[in-house]
Chain A
């Protein structure tokens, strides 16, 4: 079952600008993760934010989490051509075994940075 949904589906900006991507989810979570996927490659983990955190930074990345609105945002500052990729949010979803959780991914935002 789809848990997180990213918005927008596609985003194209100029190099140096900031890029913001949003993720909404449906049920209570204990963490939310963001991943990047370059064309033809596997997903790479960027950042994990826990439900008791509101904001987290990693280099040029800033992630916020609003559990009351069930939403998260990923901000990439001073974008570079190398940031061109698809970005996915992932949230835990209960599986068929009680107590077990699995990670479910949204459809992703396709980010293009124009030089």
Chain B
């Protein structure tokens, strides 16, 4: 298996633009997580899905952030409009079974909002 695949690897955009991050989980995994990592706040859970259904989005910072999982093999995290404080590394992870079991992480998307 290729593991969790995220794209793009790097994204540089200007403030106010829409940003879409993509994730393909490991086949057969029924949990998908979006995390954000910054030096100041560490690794924060934004939202997670179970069987394509959003379970907990309490970590989504504000309405500018939205996430979807239209099918078992694809998820997107969208920021509209983007702001400089959104600059961070965004990770997608998936797991098999319960949401508190072993996570497999993608390589992340380094987002820079200028």
Q: Chain A residues in contact with chain B, CB under 8 A?
A: 2, 30-31, 33, 35, 41-45, 48, 88, 90, 92, 95-97, 100-108
Contacts and interface: CB of A to CB of B under 8 A. Distances in A.
SS class, residues of chain A in contact with chain B? strand
Interface in B99-114: 99-108
Interface of B: 4, 33, 35, 42-43, 45, 48, 50, 55-56, 58, 91, 93, 98-108
B106 A42 contact: yes
Contacts of A44: 105
A42 B100 contact: no
Given A88-B43, A106-B42, A95 B102 contact: no
A102 B99 contact: yes
Given A42-B105, A42-B108, A100 B91 contact: no
Given A100-B56, A108-B42, A42 B102 contact: no
Given A41-B108, A100-B55, 5 more contacts: A92-B99, A95-B55, A95-B56, A101-B100, A102-B56
A41 B50 CA distance: 25
Given A96-B56, A107-B42, A45 B103 contact: yes
B106 A95 contact: no
Contacts, number: 65
B99 A100 contact: yes
Contacts of A92: 99-100
A88 B101 CA distance: 15
A67 to B, nearest CB: 16
Nearest to A29: B100
B100 A30 contact: yes
28 contacts: A2-B42, A30-B100, A31-B100, A33-B102, A33-B103, A42-B93, A43-B43, A43-B91, A43-B93, A43-B105, A48-B101, A48-B102, A90-B103, A95-B55, A96-B56, A97-B55, A97-B56, A100-B50, A100-B99, A102-B33, A102-B99, A102-B100, A103-B33, A103-B100, A105-B42, A105-B43, A106-B42, A108-B43
